[in-house]
Chains A and B, each alone.
Chain A
Amino acid sequence: MPPVAPRSGDAIFANVERVNAELFTLTYGAIVRQLLTDLEEVEEVNKQLDQMGYNIGVRLIDEFLAKSHVSRCVDFKETAEVIAKVGFKMFLGITATVTNWDAEGTSCSLVLEDNPLVDFVELPDTCQGLYYCNILSGVIRGALEMVSMKTEVTWVRDMLRGDDAYELQVKLLKQVPEEYPYKDDE
């Protein structure tokens, strides 16, 4: 059977079940608000959002691979492009651009002009230091770890903090060859 050609982000997005983005935006906002009330420390909330994102990313990658039919990426550059053009598109309906490659090709930036998570959101002064969209960094980190790439994902620019766009830096730390995913009990 011939391999199925990878589908474009737009095509997949058009074919998945979609919901009202407002529900998503408001739900995320309510979760962040509740976390701030329960955890109180902004750093704790950042960590928790990242962890939640990681847990989601670890599962989301399966859906991504199943629906997009992308074959194994040749290198990290291709991986980044696929995340930006297909990944963001098929889930959030937006595209990101990949920029700022370093000399070794192990670190780049994903830039989002548009972000459904933050529609109508304003951060009050009491939330200095909050990375509102931190769940996204966790999702990318979790998803990539499932395809054997250990990465570090950090925010470089954040519109809620006054910057002009959202920029995530994705750094490839280690490409781990396929191995049994479960560590022995220590």
Chain B
Amino acid sequence: MGREVAESCIDSLLTEMVSSYCNHFYANKPELAARRIEAIGYQVGHQLSERYTMERPRFSDHLEAIKFICKDFWSELFKKQIDNLKTNHRGTFVLQDNRFRWLSRMSPEPSLENVDSQDPSENKAAQATSMHLYFPCGIIRGALSNLGIPCAVSADISNLPACEYI
């Protein structure tokens, strides 16, 4: 398995990174913060896929590469595989993780009774969660680009704690 550290280390680090970029460096500029967070993820994904594919032959096609991401890559990172993979056979893949570790401690948007505070707090909760997701999206994009597949990755969290990557 190799060396390990406590999960709370990576959780704290990620939370702090997102918080620093969103509230400190680019407060009020969520677009810029998001791009930075995604860039950090891209770097990590690129390097990780480099290390995990060193001994393997090149993947024969896109589907093989995506399957690698779903099985081996995801297992290395999250100790489980992607639960569901769908494709439209025209270049779009949907990877679904039903219990995404990094989100497992975030609550779904609470239903809001008070109409006045509805907008700001709903946006804040959704925004915080989506900011966190730029990181894994970046990881996937970085990993795939290292395998020769340029792509765009976005995330959908309509059913927390499940998470879909497209």
Contacts and interface: CB of A to CB of B under 8 A. Distances in A.
A160 interface: no
A16 B17 CA distance: 22
Nearest to B48: A26
Contact of B40 (A34, A63, A116): A34
B6 A56 contact: no
Interface string A37-63: 010000000001001100110011001
Interface in B1-28: 1-10, 12-14, 16-17, 19-20, 25
Interface residues of B, number: 30
A90 interface: yes
Given A52-B16, A91-B9, A18 B4 contact: yes
Nearest to B17: A31
A33 interface: yes
**Dominant SS among interface residues on chain A:** helix
Contacts of A27: 10, 13-14, 17, 40, 44
A33 B41 CA distance: 12
Interface of B: 1-10, 12-14, 16-17, 19-20, 25, 36, 39-41, 43-44, 47-48, 51, 76-77, 79
Interface of A: 13, 16-24, 26-31, 33-34, 38, 48, 51-52, 55-56, 59-60, 63, 90-93, 116, 119, 135
